[in-house]
C-alpha cells in the first residue's frame, strides 16, 4: 500500500515537471502580456510596501 502511494506521488511529480515547461513556453509566446502583468503586480506590490512604510513613520 505504501509503495503504491509512493509510486503514484512520483508519477504525479513527473507529470507536473513535464507540464511546467509547456505552460512556461505558452506564456513566453505572449511576452508583452506577461511582462505587462508582471510589471503591474510589481508596481502594486512595491507601492503597497511603500505605503505601509510611510504609515508606520
The pLDDT, as a whole number, for residue 55 is 61
pTM of model > 0.85:
no
The pLDDT, as a whole number, for residue 49 is 64
Asked if residues 34 and 27 have their Cβ atoms less than 8 Å apart, the reply is yes
Tens-level pLDDT at each residue, the chain (57 residues): 577 778 887 788 788 777 777 766 666 666 766 777 788 888 877 776 665 555 665
Amino acid at each position: 500500500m505504501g509503495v503504491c502511494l509512493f509510486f503514484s506521488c512520483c508519477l504525479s511529480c513527473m507529470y507536473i515537471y513535464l507540464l511546467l515547461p509547456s505552460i512556461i513556453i505558452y506564456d513566453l509566446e505572449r511576452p508583452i502580456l506577461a511582462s505587462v502583468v508582471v510589471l503591474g503586480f510589481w508596481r502594486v506590490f512595491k507601492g503597497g510596501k511603500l505605503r505601509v512604510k510611510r504609515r508606520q513613520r
